[in-house]
Amino acid sequence: MNLKELKQVSKNRIKNILRKHRVGNIRQLESKICEAGPPQMRPDPDLLTKALKTLVNMGIITSTRGSRISAEENIFYFADDFNLNSPSDKERFAKINKLYKGYLDIVKIKGNCGDILC
């Protein structure tokens, strides 16, 4: 596949994942898109980042910085119809945010994470 096709694959997979899972950060999306599926359909992470920026700029998905919701500076991406006033969306986001905070706490402890990953 050429770069244009891989970027389109990235956009389609982002939309499908957020439609199903409602919310995700870059690490979650990267693991689902860049590390899964047939090898010829796995875009590089830089293409994923470009596809995310394009979708946000087009208003197809939305994003928010983690500083609004947690002390960590992290961007969460949402399906275009995501609504924090919806009990199910609010619960899903709280769950993902709590898990991510736990992850950050674990990797900050020296010895839990190699220097390459942290």
Question: How confident is the model over 77-118, as pLDDT tens digits?
Answer: 999 899 989 999 999 988 888 888 887 778 777 776 666 555
Domains and CATH numbers, the chain: 3-81 (1.10.10.10)
Question: Rounded distance, CA 76 to CA 96, Å?
Answer: 9
Question: Rounded distance, CA 79 to CA 59, Å?
Answer: 10
Q: Residue 44's closest CA among 53, 56, 35?
A: 35
Average pLDDT, the chain: 82
Q: By three-state DSSP, how is residue 47 classified?
A: helix
Question: How confident is the model over 14-29, as pLDDT tens digits?
Answer: 999 999 999 988 888 8
Question: Rounded distance, CA 79 to CA 20, Å?
Answer: 9
Q: Comparing 36 with 56, which gets the higher pLDDT? A: 56
